[in-house]
Structure 1
Amino acid sequence: MIDPTILITELTRDLVALDSRSSVSNLAVAERLESELRGFEVERIDYTDRAGVTKRVIVAHRGGGGGIAFSGHMDTVPDTGWQDDPWSARVNGDGMLYGLGSTDMKGPVAAALIAARGLVATLPVTLLLTTDEETTKQGARAIVERSELARSVRPRGILVVEPTTMRPVRGHRSHIAFSCVSLGVQAHSSMGKGRNANWALIPFLAEMKSVHEKLLTDRSLQDDAYDPPFSDFNLVIDNHGTAVNVTVPVATARIKFRYSARIDPTSVRAAVHDAAARHGVTVTEAEEGCPPELAADHPFVAQCIEVSGQSATTAPFGTDASILQAIAPCVVMGPGDIAVAHKPGEAVRIAQLAAAVPVFQALAARLSG
C-alpha cells in the first residue's frame, strides 16, 4: 500500500503546477483530479464564466446515500507580488510545499480526495469540487442549481476543507459587493469643457465613511461571536487610468460589506442606495449568499469537535459554504493556515495534509451512521 503522504505530496504538487487562477480555465486541474477518482460515479458540470472562459466543476460519489461530502475549490487568486515561480510546487527540506494555491486550497483538496478514496467502498462519500470560489462562487452555484448527483445522494453534512489549522468553523461572514459609478465628461482639464466624475463621487464617499464609522461603533450592528465583532466595509476607488490633466469620465468606488448571520444588512444596503441617489451615483450589487452559521450545539459541529480535538469558532472570511448550505449543513475545517494564503511565498506543510486524512475519515465514518 502506498504511503498516503507520498500520494498527497504528488497530487498537491501536480495541482499547484497547473495555473488555475480564477481568470483562466481550470479544466487541466479538473482532469487531474478526475484521474484520481476511479471507482467513483463522476458528474462533470461545465459552464462559461462572465469573461467567456470555460470552467468545470466535479461532483463525485461512492457508496450509498447520505454520508459526508468534502468540498474544495480548484481556482486560486492572482500571482500578485510573487518574485519566484508561483507554480514551481517545490518541496524544501523543511517539509513545506511552496506555490500559489498550495494552502488555499489545492493541498487540502488533495488530502480530502485521498481520504475519500481510502474509505471502505461501502461507506458513502461525496466530493464537491468547485471553481471561481475566489471571485463569484459560480462553481458552487452550478452544483447547487445543476447537480443531479448531489441532489440524489443528499449528503448529511458538507465539510468545506479550507485551511483552518483543522479547527472547526461553524459559521462565517458573507458579503455584498457594491459597485458605485459616477459619470463625467472627458476633456483636457485646462479647457473648462469637461466634468470630473470625482466631484459627484466625493460627497457620496463622505457618506460611506459615516456608514463605516457607524459599523465600528454601533453595538446593534456588531456580533461578538466574531473577531473582529464589527462588519467589514472596505472601499477601493478606481479612476480607470485617467491622467492628471484629464477630467475623469468614469469614477468607480467598490465596497465589500461583510456581515454575519445575526446582522441584518438592510440598513447598510439602504444607506448606500439612498446616498447614491442623492449624488447621482449608480449602484449595482453582487451578493455572495446568506452567511452560513450552525449553532454551537449542532450535531455536525459536535462531531467535528470530537474528531479534531479543537473547539469550534467562527471566521470573518467567506467560503463556498455560503452557497453549498442549500444542499446540507456546512462546517469549514481543513489543514493549513489561512494566514499564509493570498500572498507571495504561500506554502503548506505536507505533514499537516497527511495528518488531516485520518481525521476526515473518522468524520466520514460518523456521518455514515
Structure 2
Amino acid sequence: MLYMSDIERRVLEKIDEAAIVKTASELIEIPSITGDESKAQRRIAKIMEGIGMEADVWEIDIPEVRKHPDFSMGVDRKEGLGVVGALRAGKGKSLILNGHIDVVSPGDEKNWSVPPWKGTVKDGMLYGRGSVDMKGGLSCAINAVKAVIDSGVPFKGNVFIESVVGEEDGGIGALATALRGYKADGAIVVEPTELKVAPTQAGSHVFKITVKGHSAHACVREEGVSALEKFMPIYNALMSLEKTRNAAVNDPLYSRYRLPIPLNLGVVKCGNWPSSVPEELVLEGRYGIGVDEDVSSAHRAFEKAVADAVASDAWLRGHPPIVEWRGGQFTPVRTPTDHPIVKMVADAYEDTTGSPAVYEGMTYGSDMRHIVRVGKTPSVLFGPGDVRLCHRPDEHLPISELVTATKTLARAILRFCK
C-alpha cells in the first residue's frame, strides 16, 4: 500500500506535468555544449530565483581549481559559471540536488528527426539535446523544490540545487562548487538512471596513445613503416585486457552488464595523405575502472598491456609508443546501499509508484565523485531517462518518468530535510 502523509499530499498536488516539460524545454532551447554554458547558467539562475530560491552565481577561478588533485578538464574553456539555488528553511538536515547543464554536440543535425535545440513533445516523449543528459533531471529538481515552496508546508531543512558546468569533460563545475563550500547531509545526483537507485558509479579515465611509424611513398610502401599496422598488436592487447578485466567483475549491482567497465577507442587519427605510408597514429579513448578498484593499479594494468604488445615487435621496441592520461578522469565511487540517503530515495520511489525500487550501479562516470570525495557528502544517483538514448540523435525520454522523478524528489526533500 502506498504511503502518503498529508504534508506530502499537499506538495504532490502542486506538481504540474506541463511546468516540468516547460522548464526542461526552456533549458534545451539554450545550446550549452561543454565549454559554452554561461547563457544557460544565467537562465537557470533566474528560474531558481523565480520559484523563490536564493541564487549564488559566481565566476569559477579556473587556475585555482586546476591546482586541486581531483581536477581534470578536456575542453580548453575561457570561463565557467557556478550556480547554486538555495532554500534555507531552518536547522534540519540539508540536501543537495545536483545536475549538469552542459551537453555534448548534437553532431550532424540531418540525423535528427526533430530540431535538437528545441523541446519537442511527441508520443509521450520529450525530445531534444539534453532532455536525458540532463536538463530533464534539472527540471525535476527545480519543480520538486517549487512544489515544496508553493504548498506552504512546514519545512525545517535546507535544500540546494547545484547546476554545474563541465561534467562531460571532467567535472570542473562540481569540483568548483564543492570547493566553494557546498556540502550537505546527503545528495541526489539526477543523472539518467531509468529511475533506478544507483549508489555506485564506475570510473572512467581518458587516455591518449601515440604510435610512430616511418613515412614512404605508397608505391613503395614496404620501404616505410605504417603506424596503423604497428598499432594493431596494441589494439589486440587492449581488447584482450578489456575482456579479462570485465570477466573479473563480481558486483551484483552490475550483474546485467557484460562490460561493466568497458574500454572504448573513441578517436583515431592516422596519416596525412592517401598516397603516403602513415607516419603517426594518435588514439584517444576511455578506460573503465571498477568501483572498488585502485586507480593506480588500473593504470598499471593498462600500461603493462601496451608494454607487452610493444615487446613483441622489433619496430615498437625501438620506437615505443607514448601513453598519456589526460582529459576527463572520473574516479569511481560507492555509497553503501544501506546508507540513509540511498534507502530514503528508494522508499520515496516505492511510495510514489507502488513498485519496489531497483538498485543498480551505473557504468558511466559522474559528478557524484566530487560531491562524495571533495564535498564529503554521501550521495546517490537517481533520475529520469536512459543513458542509452543520450549522446546520439533524437535524444528523448518519457514525460511520465519526468513526473515520477519530480514526485520522488519532492518526497525525498520532505523526508530527509527534517
TM-score normalised by length of structure 2: 0.77
- 1:30-69 aligned within 5 A: 30-38=41-49, 39-46=53-60, 50-63=75-88, 64=90, 66-69=93-96
The answer to whether the 8 A contact 2:170-2:330 is kept is no
Matched, 1:354 2:395: no
Residue identity (%): 22
The answer to whether the 8 A contact 1:288-1:322 is kept is no
The answer to whether the 8 A contact 1:57-1:130 is kept is yes
In 2 relative to 1, CA 169–3 (structure 1 residues): closer, same or farther, beyond 3 Å? Answer: closer
Matched, 1:140 2:174: yes
Pick which of 317-326 and 39-48 moved more: 39-48
Matched, 1:103 2:132: yes
Whole-Å Cα distance in 2 between the matches of residues 305 and 295 of structure 1? 13
Q: In the TM superposition, what whole-angstrom CA distance separates every residue of 1:90-142 from its partner, at most 9, and x where no partner exists? A: 223x3322111112111110110121233247531011111222222222222
Matched, 1:298 2:330: no
Whole-Å Cα distance in 2 between the matches of residues 225 and 91 of structure 1? 33
More helix, by proportion: 2
In 2 relative to 1, CA 248–41 (structure 1 residues): closer, same or farther, beyond 3 Å? Answer: same
Matched, 1:314 2:325: no
Residue 40 of structure 2 aligns to a residue in which SS? Answer: helix
The answer to whether the 8 A contact 1:104-1:338 is kept is yes
Give the drift of 1:228. Answer: 1.9
Whole-Å Cα distance in 1 between the matches of residues 101 and 158 of structure 2? 23
Q: 1:284 aligns with which of 309, 324, 327?
A: 324
Whole-Å Cα distance in 2 between the matches of residues 137 and 188 of structure 1? 45
Q: Which runs of 5+ in 2 are unaligned?
A: 1-12, 63-72, 150-154, 351-356
The answer to whether the 8 A contact 2:271-2:278 is kept is no
Matched residue type, 1:62: L
Pick which of 240-249 and 70-79 moved more: 240-249
Pick which of 247-256 and 197-206 moved more: 197-206
The answer to whether the 8 A contact 1:292-1:330 is kept is no
Matched, 1:239 2:266: no
The answer to whether the 8 A contact 1:222-1:263 is kept is no
Give the drift of 1:362. Answer: 1.4
Residue 219 of structure 2 aligns to a residue in which SS? Answer: coil
Query: 1:341 — aligned with what?
Result: 390
The answer to whether the 8 A contact 2:165-2:171 is kept is yes
Matched, 1:255 2:285: yes
Residue 323 of structure 1 aligns to a residue in which SS? Answer: helix
Residue 119 of structure 1 aligns to a residue in which SS? Answer: helix
Pick which of 349-358 and 127-136 moved more: 349-358
In 2 relative to 1, CA 181–129 (structure 1 residues): closer, same or farther, beyond 3 Å? Answer: same
Q: 1:184 aligns with which of 192, 209, 213?
A: 213
Give the drift of 1:223. Answer: 3.4
Q: In the TM superposition, what whole-angstrom CA distance separates every residue of 1:180-207 from its partner, at most 9, and x where no partner exists? A: 1113344533366754333443333333
In 2 relative to 1, CA 236–35 (structure 1 residues): closer, same or farther, beyond 3 Å? Answer: closer
The answer to whether the 8 A contact 1:239-1:248 is kept is no
Matched residue type, 1:350: I
Residue 295 of structure 1 aligns to a residue in which SS? Answer: coil
Give the drift of 1:47. Answer: 5.5
Q: 2:100 aligns with which of 47, 52, 73?
A: 73
Whole-Å Cα distance in 1 between the matches of residues 407 and 240 of structure 2? 49
Matched pairs, number: 360
The answer to whether the 8 A contact 2:114-2:120 is kept is no
Give the drift of 1:316. Answer: 1.5
Whole-Å Cα distance in 1 between the matches of residues 23 and 395 of structure 2? 17
Query: 2:39 — aligned with what?
Result: 28
Pick which of 171-180 and 280-289 moved more: 280-289
Residue 313 of structure 1 aligns to a residue in which SS? Answer: coil
Whole-Å Cα distance in 2 between the matches of residues 79 and 51 of structure 1? 19
Q: Could you say what the CA RMSD is over the residues aligned between the two structures, in angstroms?
A: 2.7
Matched, 1:5 2:17: yes
Residue 208 of structure 2 aligns to a residue in which SS? Answer: strand
The answer to whether the 8 A contact 2:204-2:364 is kept is no
Give the drift of 1:79. Answer: 0.9
In 2 relative to 1, CA 244–268 (structure 1 residues): closer, same or farther, beyond 3 Å? Answer: farther
Whole-Å Cα distance in 2 between the matches of residues 195 and 74 of structure 1? 45
Give the drift of 1:363. Answer: 0.8
TM-score normalised by length of structure 1: 0.87
In 2 relative to 1, CA 90–265 (structure 1 residues): closer, same or farther, beyond 3 Å? Answer: same
Q: In the TM superposition, what whole-angstrom CA distance separates every residue of 1:135-183 from its partner, at most 9, and x where no partner exists? A: 22222222223x13x1xxx311110011223221111211122211113
Matched residue type, 2:56: V
Query: 2:372 — aligned with what?
Result: 325
In 2 relative to 1, CA 87–202 (structure 1 residues): closer, same or farther, beyond 3 Å? Answer: same
Q: In the TM superposition, what whole-angstrom CA distance separates every residue of 1:42-94 from its partner, at most 9, and x where no partner exists? A: 142435674234332312222146411000111112213425421121223x3
Q: In the TM superposition, what whole-angstrom CA distance separates every residue of 1:253-272 from its partner, at most 9, and x where no partner exists? A: 33322123233454542233
Matched residue type, 1:20: S
The answer to whether the 8 A contact 2:60-2:82 is kept is yes
Whole-Å Cα distance in 1 between the matches of residues 257 and 330 of structure 2? 20
